[in-house]
Amino acid sequence: MSARDKKLELEGLTVSFDGFKALNNLTLSVDPGELLCIIGPNGAGKTTMMDVVTGKTRPDSGTARFGSGNNLLEMSEAEIVAAGVGRKFQKPTVFERLTVFENLELALAGTRSVLKTLRARISPEQDNRINEVLGTIGLSGRRFELGSTLAHGQKQWLEIGMLLMQDPELLLVDEPVAGMTPQEIERTSELLLSLAGEHSVVVVEHDMNFVRSIARRVIVLHEGRVIAEGDMDKVQGDPKVIEVYLGV
Amino acid sequence: METLWSPTKTGDRGGKWFLSVLALIAVAAPILNQAVPASSPAHLSAYGITLIGKYLCYGMLALAVDLIWGYCGILSLGHTAFFSLGGYAIGMYLMRQIGTRGVYGDPVLPDFMVFLNWKSLPWFWNGFNHFPFALLMMVVAPGLLALVFGWFAFRSRVTGVYFSIITQALTYALMLAFFRNDMGFGGNNGFTDFKDILGFDLHSDLTRVVLLITTVATLAATYLACRTIVESRAGRVLHAIRDAESRTRFLGYPVESFKVYVFVFSAVIAGIAGALYVPQIGIINPGEFAPINSIEVVIWVAVGGRGTLYGAIAGAVVVNYAKTYLTGAFPEVWLYAVGALFVLVTLFLPRGIIGLVQTRTKR
């Protein structure tokens, strides 16, 4: 596969904060429709990597390309979202005083300007789309309830649902199962697996069992660079990985 | 389909009540003043008409504050700046209507300019002899100030208490500026001694009744405009900004634009309220810009219940009625009373009077 066909292509990214290199010549790529898991100990640069991809942090050097020729380093946060990169943060932040339905409505792709949102109405297609996503994330029965009434796991799903409303080509998912019950974790892996294929999904996670249950390809980060890559068994057998992370 | 996805719209029962009360005022007040003879105990005096008009103007100012504070989390502690600018705009028109009936009888210059030995009208007084121009200015002046101020503040991501503090500074600075005679707005005396508006005598009962009806109609219209905004998707974006600003930005909404728009709209409502207030009260001076006034407005909104629109208006009326009574009966206790009220409402009635009523009437 040529570089052109990659969904996301990061090359030689370096980010330093006061001399500390959060990313150190990081190179990795994501294929279309792939579900990639990124693991690594605290401070390995996982969150910084996502910050660079979403435009929150600018690297000192390197390149970041998305899809067919979008240079992420020259785009604003809003432009990157519009281009099709969706990010789910570690801490679920759904809008607590809006209903589940309204949360998804605000996440609908398209209308963003003040005057347009003032007149915006939900079209039948959009209504269908919202209902479809409600089904995907398993919250159809709670559409009229306020975000604040949801359980922790449900908030995470709602937030994934909000990402889906924007029809992203690439989903960045930061620690989706932190704090979840085993049943919720199981549902979440089903959800993420069902999303791969149609979307490229990048999951950053600490929970090894969870990663094992969903990952085909795993990348291990340490001190801002990739130290191992491959399927879960290969990665877990890698002596460097055992040393920095899995040996614990 | 509308109704399918609008569980938060409870048919706006409170709003319907509020509009009914406004309609009742618009019908009853003129009858009680014009048709009921002055000897009857049911007669509503000109003083009463003006008092109701004043409360409703305050209500409109509270509505403006609730729109940005209750729905978008922007706590402005300087909203009387916009109110006063609207008041000054109409005041300039009223001053020029006085003409030769002033103490000095100058056909063009208002009395205070003659007194200051000015020979000609400052440039910014041009046009104010035309009523439509004054109408335009009562919207443009506060709107423009809010646009420039809001654009700089929101673009620099000044939020929360920092924003509140600079709004206080804004209104304080304007107060000091308007106190200066050189500004050309009458210094500490401001404008008063108005004679007529559009040729109608401001001291006649009928003019006062018409001004009250105009106030009622404008309040209803601005209320409905705010209601339309908060129930649109833009209103839900405002909610979202209030509760999780960076999340909203991350969804791709231009948060700063939303804030600037709603802030300017709110300032315009405040300006219109001020412009309705001045002809009824008969005076505008720099004291209106005093920072304490803006803080009182926030208290009205908190007492009424923020985030409901009509609650803010109710709060303004109730608190000001109490103020009228208390400053008459026990003038020295008012400031303590309003302070205590704010503390009590914050502690025990976080959703204000409306919240209390809603809890009581919930099925």
B258–chain A nearest CA distance, Å: 6
A-B contacts at Cβ under 8 angstroms = 80
Q: For B81-118, how does the pLDDT look when each residue is reduced to its tens digit (9 = 90+)? A: 999 999 999 999 999 999 999 999 999 999 999 999 99
B263–chain A nearest CA distance, Å: 13
Is the minimum CB–CB distance between B8 and chain A shorter than 8 Å? Answer: yes
A201–chain B nearest CA distance, Å: 18
Is pLDDT at B197 greater than 90 in this prediction?
yes
**pLDDT confidence band for B362 (50 / 70 / 90):** low
Nearest to A101 among B5, B251, B254 (CB): B5
d(C-alpha A68, C-alpha A4), whole Å: 7
Residue type, A43: G
Closest to B258 in 3D by CA, of B63, B74, B66: B74
Is the minimum CB–CB distance between A83 and chain B shorter than 8 Å? Answer: no
A76–chain B nearest CA distance, Å: 10
Nearest to B234 among A78, A93, A118 (CB): A118
Contact predicate A109/A165, CB 8 Å:
yes
Backbone dihedral angles phi then psi of residue B8, each to the nearest 5 degrees? -80, -15
Is pLDDT at B8 greater than 60 in this prediction?
no
A17–chain B nearest CA distance, Å: 22
Q: What is the pLDDT of residue B359?
A: 83
Given an 8 Å threshold on Cβ–Cβ distance, is A122 in contact with B253?
A: no
Segments of chain A with pLDDT less than 70: 1-4, 245-248
Average pLDDT score, chain B: 93
Which residues in chain A are closer than 8 Å to B254, comparing Cβ atoms? 78, 112-114
Q: What is the pLDDT of residue A88?
A: 87
Given an 8 Å threshold on Cβ–Cβ distance, is B232 in contact with A122?
A: no
Q: What is the pLDDT of residue A215?
A: 84
Is the minimum CB–CB distance between B263 and chain A shorter than 8 Å? Answer: no
User: Residue A219: beta bridge partners?
Assistant: A38, A229
Is pLDDT at B10 greater than 70 in this prediction?
no
Given an 8 Å threshold on Cβ–Cβ distance, is B236 in contact with A98?
A: yes
Is pLDDT at B363 greater than 90 in this prediction?
no
Is the minimum CB–CB distance between B7 and chain A shorter than 8 Å? Answer: yes
- Written as six digits, the tokens of B297 are 């407005």
User: Residue A86: beta bridge partners?
Assistant: A171
Nearest C-alpha in A relative to B241: A95
Alpha helices (runs of H) in chain B, residue ranges in sequence order: 13-30, 46-72, 79-98, 111-115, 131-155, 160-179, 205-231, 233-243, 245-250, 255-281, 291-304, 310-329, 334-348, 352-361
Helix (H) or strand (E) holding A88: strand A85-88
Which residues in chain B are closer than 8 Å to A162, comparing Cβ atoms? 251
Q: What is the pLDDT of residue A1?
A: 46
Q: What is the pLDDT of residue B3?
A: 34
Given an 8 Å threshold on Cβ–Cβ distance, is B261 in contact with A166?
A: no
Which residues in chain A are closer than 8 Å to B229, comparing Cβ atoms? 118
* CA-CA-CA-CA torsion sign (A66, A162, A93, B231): positive
Q: What is the pLDDT of residue B361?
A: 77
Q: Which residue has the higher pLDDT, B248 or B10?
A: B248
Is the minimum CB–CB distance between B232 and chain A shorter than 8 Å? Answer: yes
Is pLDDT at B217 greater than 70 in this prediction?
yes
Q: For B118-163, how does the pLDDT look when each residue is reduced to its tens digit (9 = 90+)? A: 999 999 999 999 999 999 999 999 999 999 999 999 999 999 999 9
Nearest C-alpha in A relative to B237: A106
Given an 8 Å threshold on Cβ–Cβ distance, is B5 in contact with A127?
A: yes
Q: What is the pLDDT of residue A247?
A: 52
Given an 8 Å threshold on Cβ–Cβ distance, is A93 in contact with B244?
A: yes
Q: For B263-311, how does the pLDDT look when each residue is reduced to its tens digit (9 = 90+)? A: 999 999 999 999 999 999 999 999 999 999 999 999 999 999 999 999 9
Q: For B311-342, how does the pLDDT look when each residue is reduced to its tens digit (9 = 90+)? A: 999 999 999 999 999 998 888 898 899 889 98
Is the minimum CB–CB distance between B165 and chain A shorter than 8 Å? Answer: no
Architecture in CATH of A3-94+150-246: 3-Layer(aba) Sandwich (3.40)
Scan for tokens 């904060």, then name that residue. Answer: A17
**pLDDT confidence band for B5 (50 / 70 / 90):** very low
Q: Which of B253, B261, B351 should one mutate to test binding to chain A, selecting the residue with the greatest count of A CBs within 10 A?
A: B253
Nearest to B229 among A118, A143, A144 (CB): A118
C-alpha separations of B152 from A115, A152, B126, B148, B316 in Å = 21, 38, 29, 6, 30
Is the minimum CB–CB distance between A88 and chain B shorter than 8 Å? Answer: no
- Written as six digits, the tokens of B41 are 């105990």
Given an 8 Å threshold on Cβ–Cβ distance, is A81 in contact with B233?
A: no
